[in-house]
A and B are shown apart, each in its own frame.
Chain A
Amino acid sequence: MKKTLYSRRDFIKTTAIGGLGLAAGLGAVPKVARGAEKGSIAFLNLQPFSGAYADTGLDVSRGVRLAIEEFGGKVLGREIKLVERDATNPSDSLRRAKEAVEKEGCKFIQVGTSSAVALAVSEYGSKNDVIVGCHAGADSITGTACNKFTFRWAVPTYGAIREVVPRLIKELKVNTFYTITPEYVFGEDLLRNTKEVLKEQGKELAGNSYHALGEAEYSAIITKAMGAKADCVLFLNFGGDTVNSVKQAVNFGLKKVSKLCIAWSGGQTEFIAMGTKILEDVWVGIQYHHAIDTPMNKRVVGDYYKKYGVMMPYVAASGYQQMMVMLNAIKRAGSTDVKKVIAAWEDYEYEALTGKEVYRKCDHQCIKPYYTCRGKTEAEKKAPDDFVGIIGYSKNFLACDKTGCKM
């Protein structure tokens, strides 16, 4: 049908649309709630529930829910309302944060593992008086991009490298390293720290290979690494990249030449994707392990196992721990006033899965250990998901004035 001028049919059309739109808006969609439901306190959990990291999101969610359950589903006598939203990119995450603040009067957010998302939401929180608990590893979250409203549990790259590399040197008598680094801010941070530690310890970096994030094809890098004949090949990537690069490295026979070590492991998801054969005798640095020997960890791991039938993975522990701390801070503050909760949260030492932990005041970074583990052989495994065993751990953090954080 030719459309020259807007005729009467167009008029009717637009009215119909208007009517439809209005009806859809009023009918299909819940009324805009001004502020929180009577009595309940809203918590927004922004995790990747779709996309490549969907498993991570699910695990964090499980940890968060376990914490809420343990708390009795209530804090300050008010019901805990958990709102969970998919957060695979910063734009959607910010929109969801706005939604939660507007609809639920939400003042407490837990945000997941992507640096970009965490940084964006953290900034949003600081501008809108919302407390944000981050689960991402980017240094800047409690460094140059820190703010009063953001707290972060995971150990940043400084602490991760300063546990793993010295331990490799000590336990395996490693003298030369070859690094495989994703070309990405995070990878650069890991590499920078590695170089610093090697310099301090008087050890040599035999070489470094960069790769694009999301790279599927590592033959060039592996060939170079094999040629370098370093004592240890240190993988500074994570997630799917780690799985691909380590698998291909093992297939090329790199294990015959060097010891393999993954500095920043995503935990169970990666282990399952790699499998026991590949992971055998590979050293792994990780934020948390289900075999950590503290009474609280044993109990929570048991509870998690009862509820979900698997050993608690690191991201679930992160979700659990940070949610527990958040709820306890609200309880101690005796109110949901954000400033009071922040004051109650910072510099308070508490019993945690990893032992005693504290979020220090200067940068809101949690002071906790980082763990080095070793991939078990099939015979050593006590259960199908028992892929690695703890070798050692330590706490390493930059002094407050060196983090670049100004709050």
Chain B
Amino acid sequence: MTLNLVLVQIVNGLVLGMIYVLLAMGLSIVWGMMNIINFSHGLFFALGAYLAYTLFSVTGNFFMGMIFVPLGTAVIGMFLELTLLKRLYRLNILYQILMTFGLALIGRELIIILYGPVGKSFVPPDILSGTITLGTFFFPTYRIFLLFVSICITLGMWLFIEKTKYGSVIRAGTEDSEMVSALGINISRVFTLIFGLSMAIAGLSGVLAAPIRGVEPMMGEAILGICFAVVIIGGMGSFMGAIIGGVIVGLSQSLVTLIMPSASIIVIFLVMALILLLKPRGLLGIRD
């Protein structure tokens, strides 16, 4: 194992980590503000990938997918929130968990019905295919692109949350949504918009991840567990926590793969369990 290999794996880990960061941001916002553990978050990731695939097959344009697919997943998400989830808010959060769990199942089956059970081929657009030389290794241009784009989006989200009026509502709501409502803000509408935002980011990560991971029906379920782990490790409700958590998990996955491939996922769950036991707020969490 050379230093070069480890360095390349670190870059790979960062790329992987940024996808997790994007997903964790969405999951964390919904969890923190609406107290929903969204078991269908992975589904929207898969949906994003599949919609991008369809758009790409029809138009041949990948970049259009980056704009329209998140809008699409946001709309679907908001629709589901308005029609289904809203009815369950006054009840035990158990039912919200069960609802999202059921939606994930339905979504996955619909994808299989529409697109077939076998994964689809998805190659990066021509401009982004090809490789860059990193030391003595080739490295796909697309992954560098992904790293760049996801950092930009994360920065954008940070600016939105820290510097705008809307962002302050999110920050306040994550700490105490009841108080926000008491202060006169239509929390119900905010919830819908937040859910939409969360699904938009999830969809976007699906679009970005598709050329690397491919498009297959189980991709949502496969990544869901890791998303939960990231949010728990980083700390639910914390923006920086999502970033730290995502990067840690991504790096851990790619570095453990060098030593023992099959352990790369379980290590993440072990760390998650440890954090839950020792520091349930997560590394940077603001509340349990």
Contact = CB atoms under 8 A, between A and B. Distances in A.
A/B contact in complex, CB under 8 angstroms: yes
Interface of B is mostly: mixed
Given A54-B118, A55-B116, A217 B212 contact: yes
B136 A251 contact: no
B212 A273 contact: no
B140 A251 contact: yes
Nearest to A48: B117
Interface string A202-223: 0000000111111111011101
B81 to A, nearest CB: 29
Interface in B233-269: 253-254, 257-258, 260-262, 264-265
A273 B121 contact: yes
A212 B262 contact: yes
Interface string B215-228: 01111001000000
B9 A223 contact: yes
A51 B218 CA distance: 9
Interface in A238-270: 240, 243-244, 247-248, 251-253, 256, 269
Contact of A251 (B12, B118, B129, B218): B129
B118 A217 contact: no
Nearest to B15: A219
A307 to B, nearest CB: 20
A217 to B, nearest CB: 7
Contacts of B168: none
A227 interface: yes
Contacts of B12: 217, 219-220, 223
B2 interface: yes
B132 to A, nearest CB: 10
Contacts, number: 107
Interface in A277-336: 277-278
B142 interface: yes
Contacts of A14: none
A223 B121 contact: no
B142 A251 contact: yes
B5 A215 contact: no
A337 B117 CA distance: 39
Interface of A: 50-55, 183, 209-217, 219-221, 223-224, 226-227, 240, 243-244, 247-248, 251-253, 256, 269, 272-275, 277-278
Interface of B: 2, 4-5, 8-9, 12, 16, 112, 116-121, 123-124, 129, 131, 136-140, 142-143, 212-214, 216-219, 222, 253-254, 257-258, 260-262, 264-265
9 contacts: A53-B117, A211-B261, A216-B219, A216-B222, A220-B5, A220-B257, A226-B137, A243-B119, A272-B118
